[in-house]
Each structure stands twice: as C-alpha cells, then as structure tokens.
Structure 1
Amino acid sequence: MAPATQFEVAQPPTDAISALAFAPGPASRRLLVSSWDKNVYLYEIGTFEHRAPVLDVCFGSGPEEAFTAGLDHQVKRIDLATGEQTVVSKHSAAVRCVVYSSEHSILISASWDSTLHVHNTANPSQPPLAIPLPGKPHAVAASPSKVVVAMTARLVHIYDLPTLASALASPQQPPPTPQPWQQRESSLKFLTRAVACMPNDAGYATSSIEGRVAVEWFEDSAESQARKYAFKCHRQAAPEEEGGGDVVYPVNALVFHPVHGTFASGGGDGTVALWDAEAKRRMRQYQRFPDGVAALAFSADGRYLAIGVCPGFETGMEDYSGEGRTKLFIRELGETEAKGKGSK
C-alpha cells in the first residue's frame, strides 16, 4: 500500500477560507476555494474576482460550472471555462450557503434573510422558489434525496428534494411553498457550525461551536432515533496553572468520505480527525496545523482530502487578518486510511 502524502498548495488565498469543493467525477482534481479576500480560486486554472467576500462555493452539473454565495446578497453562476459570471438570484441579506443536487438539477441557496431560494438550473430564466425559514441558517448540506438546514435556536429543517423539484415544476403560479419533510431540534446545546450528509442517504452529522459532533439518521422510527449519538471532540487540556479542565474549540468543518462513509472533522484547535460513524470511534487524528481548520473537502473518489487553515474568528473580528496565515493543504490518503471497521 502506498503511504499517505501531504503537501501545501502554493499561492493560497490572502484571507480566511470559507469553503472548499472538489469537482464531480472520479478522476477530477479540480478544487474550488472561496475566501473572504473576495475571490474564488480554481486550482488548475486561476481565480474569479467577486465584489464582496464569498461565504460558500460549490460545483454545479459538471467541472465547468460553479455557484457562489456572497456577502453582497448575490448567488452567482461561474462558467469556469470562460470566467463569465451571472447573477442567479438576489437575497436581501448575505448568502451563507449554496448546495447543488445533481440528481435533481436543483441549486439551493440559504441566506441570513431567513430564506431558502430553490433554483431550477436547467431553466435559468425561471424565478427561484423562495421558502421562508424560522431562523437564520448557518449550515446546509444535501444528500441524494434530502436537504438539511441548520439554523439559530437549534432548529433543523429537513426538506425532500423530489418535493422541491415538483414545486419548481408546478404550473400553479405562484407555486406552492414546500413544507419541511421533518422539523427537528438539534441534539447539540450550542450553535450549529457545520452539517454534512451521509453519502448513502441514511442520515447526517452536525457540529457545534462547543466542541461536539452529533450523528443522526433520517428515518423517524423509534429504533432509528435511538441510534443517534453525540460526542466531545476538538478540545485541548488547559494548563494546571490556569485551573486545568478543557479548552473547547468550535468544530468548523465536517465532510463524509464518498466511498467508505466515514467522516472527517476540522476544528479551531488546528486538528483534523477521522471518525467511523457506525462504530462510534475515532480512527485517527492528524498532526496539528498552525491555525484553526476552517474547511474540508474530499475528492469525488475519496483519494484526496483538502484542508483549509486560517486563524479563527473566536476572538472577534477586530483587527482580524488571515493574510500570510491562510494555508491550503492537500492530503493524499492511503488505500485504507479512511476505511472504517464495517466498510466494504
């Protein structure tokens, strides 16, 4: 088995990294990076300047299409071949998240104006379907059939993607507003920082600012709900002279391995850990990075893990600068490095 290798990418963003996304397709090595420096970076080709910090980025139907979420309230489509940018929709506040469903050709944007916009990417001229939310969204993730929206006040709404697609296709004007498939309260006591869906469409994981991760399943049966659990992570022992105990860090990033179904977490403590969701155990923890881990992404074949590192915002925004300290690492995983105990 070839050993795992890791390297630092030259010319990283000049300010904090907000999101990472590998292109679809098992052989694709294209990586999108969005940053507070008002740019989206495509490693292989170049950068795409925006007028405001970019809070999220995702690929669309293929490796030549990307969508971005901006602090300037705009959702944009980028043609990565030509560099052309098109405004897909406008919210009335910053756009926090964008996720694309290849199964349904739907783009979903979540804004701090407490709405979701559901876009039919096959028909760009069709206005987006607006769905009001009961709270400000902080993290969104899509599985093959569901979209999980984590909001303030520990609210979690799960939407059914086929239902959203049907609403977009409805001849009724205005189309009916889809209701959540499920409404839940987060298993975590503090603000949700990240959410990621299992690739087998069975459930999802959430993380909080208080060094915890929860794993849950979509199925609403008592047996399935009894399986959910939460655990502490990304904590460091405080010096005894300072009273001992734990220094607790936010868990900023979660991502499931597309092949093995294990998942990685990245925290403000500067570490990345791999977890076996089924066996409820930590598989490994990597060496500490120089600053907090802000974002993670696996390549579509699971061979590479991208790690965005920059100072965190835990101490506030005053005099904050990620310049010179923002770094991007790519880890090539060994053949069984992310394979859990029950993986095939």
Structure 2
Amino acid sequence: MSGLFGGSSASSAATTTTGDTSKDIEVSQNQLPGDSISDMAFCPTADFLAVASWDKKVWIYEVTNAGAQGKWFFEMAGHVLCVAWSRDGTRVAAGDSTGICSMVDLSKAAPGQVAAQQVAGHVDPNNQAANPAIKCVRWFQNGGRDILATGSWDKSVKFWDLTSPQPLGSLDCGERVYTMDVKDDLLVVGTAERHIHIVNLKEPTKIYKTITSPLKWQTRVVSCFTDATGFAVGSIEGRCAIQYVEDKDTSLNFSFKCHRQQDPAARDIAKVYSVNAISFHPIHGTFSTAGSDGTFHFWDKDAKHRLKGYPEVGGSITATCFSRDGNIFAYAISYDWSKGYSHNTPQYPIKLKLHPILGDECKPRPGSKKR
C-alpha cells in the first residue's frame, strides 16, 4: 500500500480526520532545555517524563493535569542523544556524544540536580579523544536481571548489567547504529546503509535475522509493536513501513507515504519530510508518526487507516512518546539538523507539549484486525 492511509493524498484524508491541538499544554519556557530535544521517554510506573537535550542535560518532569513541572536534572559530558527508564521506573540512563552512558537512581533523590554515575561507555581504541557517540539506549530483562543496551556509532550494541565496567557482551552491527527499540524479548536495530537487525533478547549477542529496510532512503527510526510481533520503520523520505518478524507474516508487511506536503504551484510535486519519531500506544497498539514538517498523525496499522492528522505545530517534531496509560502524548518541537548546522539559529523554537488523548483518537477502527 503506497498511498496515504484513508485516501490517496494528504488533503483528501485530512478533510475527515483532522485532529485538534487546542487543548495541548505547553511546558513553560523557563522549564525547557537550552538546546534541541533529541529524545524523551515516559516513566513506566509513574507520571514522570525524561527529556534528553543537546544542552548536555537530561531533564525530568513531573506531569499532572495542569502540565509538567521540572523535578530533577543531571548533566553529562556531551550532547545527550538518548534516554530510557528502567522497568521499575526508578532509574534513568542516557547516552551522549562522547560515548558515555550515565545513570541516576531517583528512588531517594531530592528534587533538583542529581549526580549521575557513569555505567557504560564506547571507546575508540585508536583515538580516545574522539570516542564514538552513544545514539541509543534501552533497558530489558534477562534471567531476572536488568540489562542496559547501548547502541553506538562504533557499529556495535553493547550489553551491561551495571555491576562491572566491562560489558556482558557485544553485538557487531556492521554499520553505525542510528536507532533501536526493545519490546519484551525483541530488539530491533536500524543502522546506516539501511540494515535492520532483529535480535531475540534471550540470546542478545546473536542476530536472529537481518533485512534491508523496505524503504529506499536512510532509516531514521524503528519502533516495536506493543505485542512484539514486528516493528515500524521511518525514513528521511517521508515514508513508513510496517514489518513483521516472522516469515509466516510477511503478507502483512506494507509501507505508506506520510509527512509530505503538496506543492501549491505544481500538483504533481510534493515536498518530502523526514519521519523523526514513531511511538506505539501502550493500550490500543495504534501508533503515531511525527516529522520534520511539524505534524503528527495517529494510525491503525491493522486496518491500514489514518485515525487523525494534526495541524503543523511551528517547527520540526524531534521526539514523541505516550504516557504509561496512553492518556498523554508528549511531543518535542526543536531543530532536527535536517538542513545542517547553519539553519540551527537562536530563533528556532524549542517547545515541549502534552497532548491529552481524548475520545477515540487512538482507538483502532471498529472491527479492525490483521489481514
């Protein structure tokens, strides 16, 4: 399926599925990071939101019906590129541009600045002054233990149990790691050159399967289904793919266009934008896409239908996530580097917004089922 869900063009679909952002709550400017937001994640056990920023800090907010209030923050050596919560919701780990992964334990932390502990790292043995960045970090459990996975531009994913400065093991990914996600025993790693590695976390140092992305251009994001049977892929070409892990389900695989704008001067030309973030709703299994065009959309993959598309928000959306109960959709507006260093001006907006999920916004279509 190559067209947009719900119609052959953005305009035809938007007439009946346009969403409302008028009730979205914006975090106050004096509570925001000082540079672009690269990643964020909701706590799985409480209403806290962790935000990673290029200002070399991780900001952690307490989210209420009234909005979000800064509660903790910690500093890192480099620009923070990724952040993740432990399954019990007490610890936050983050990776930065200097190859360091640091962690804080918030279970007994007083509000304010928290001292971070380095728990993992990727080192260039030939040039330790230029260690490879950690682009992705995720937690999972193996044998009842919490394990931290760090994906780096050194072309590896390393696994850590936080008791030793040495990793438990390493996964050779062949190319720079750009994105990865975990759900239950499924690890999906997207690298440069459009490789996608699928790993069974019962054997984390072995690649179960490698595929080439069904999308023709660079992979930007991968995100696992809530039932761990597959994953979504987003690329810089304004396209998303739905992929199942097992060969028996390949008939369910498809891709579709998104985050494109019709050129008003030429009907046969569309402006194409990067898909920067994909998040799955924890209850309904539907998902969001968000992109450089400054829009986000909710989709039902099983019905191959767009549920809602939302108006442009005033800048690129760089990160998104759903709260643990799926009642809040958080999205970050900031520069996404798609046009290079020179376009990252002080005037570019940095915003953090909370969208309340109302009514059937994220519910699957009635009678929706895999086909």
Name the TM-score, length of structure 1 as normaliser. 0.89
Structure 1 residues 125 and 113, CA, compared in 2 at 3 Å: closer, same or farther?
closer
Match of 1:175 in 2: none
Tell me the alpha carbon deviations over residues 25-81 of structure 1, each in whole angstroms, 9 at most, x when there is no partner: 2xx210000001111000131321222110000011333200001001101111234
Say whether residues 1:143 and 2:176 are aligned partners. Answer: no
Q: Is the 8 A contact 2:199 2:208 kept in 1?
A: yes
Say whether residues 1:262 and 2:296 are aligned partners. Answer: no
Q: Which letter does structure 2 place at the counterpart of 1:217?
A: Y
Match of 2:240 in 1: 213
Q: Is the 8 A contact 1:260 1:343 kept in 2?
A: no
Which of these residues, 236, 253, 267, is aligned with residue 228 of structure 1? Answer: 253
Distance 1:257 1:91 in 2: 32
Q: How many corresponding residue pairs? A: 323
Match of 2:61 in 1: 43
Q: Which letter does structure 2 place at the counterpart of 1:235?
A: R
Q: Which letter does structure 1 place at the counterpart of 2:254?
A: Y
Q: Which letter does structure 2 place at the counterpart of 1:91?
A: H
Unmatched tracts of structure 1, length 5 or more: 165-177
Say whether residues 1:64 and 2:104 are aligned partners. Answer: no
Match of 1:171 in 2: none
Say whether residues 1:97 and 2:136 are aligned partners. Answer: yes
Match of 1:182 in 2: 209
Q: Which letter does structure 2 place at the counterpart of 1:152?
A: A
TM-superposed CA distance for 1:151, in Å, is 0.7
Match of 2:50 in 1: 32
TM-superposed CA distance for 1:281, in Å, is 1.1
Structure 1 residues 50 and 195, CA, compared in 2 at 3 Å: closer, same or farther?
same
Say whether residues 1:116 and 2:147 are aligned partners. Answer: no
Unmatched tracts of structure 2, length 5 or more: 1-19, 63-70, 124-131
TM-superposed CA distance for 1:120, in Å, is 1.8
Correspondences of 1:270-289 after superposition (within 5 Å):
270-289=294-313
Question: How much identity, in percent, do the aligned residues show?
Answer: 32
Distance 1:302 1:243 in 2: 38
Which of these residues, 165, 170, 180, is aligned with residue 130 of structure 1? Answer: 170
- Give the superposed CA RMSD: 1.9
Tell me the alpha carbon deviations over residues 250-280 of structure 1, each in whole angstroms, 9 at most, x when there is no partner: 0000000000000000010000000001011
Correspondences of 1:251-330 after superposition (within 5 Å):
251-318=275-342, 320-321=344-345, 325-330=349-354
TM-superposed CA distance for 1:125, in Å, is 5.6
Match of 1:22 in 2: 42
Q: Helix, strand or coil: the match of 2:252?
A: coil
Match of 1:169 in 2: none
Say whether residues 1:84 and 2:115 are aligned partners. Answer: yes
Please identify, of 178-187 and 33-42, the stretch whose mean Cα deviation from structure 2 is larger. 178-187
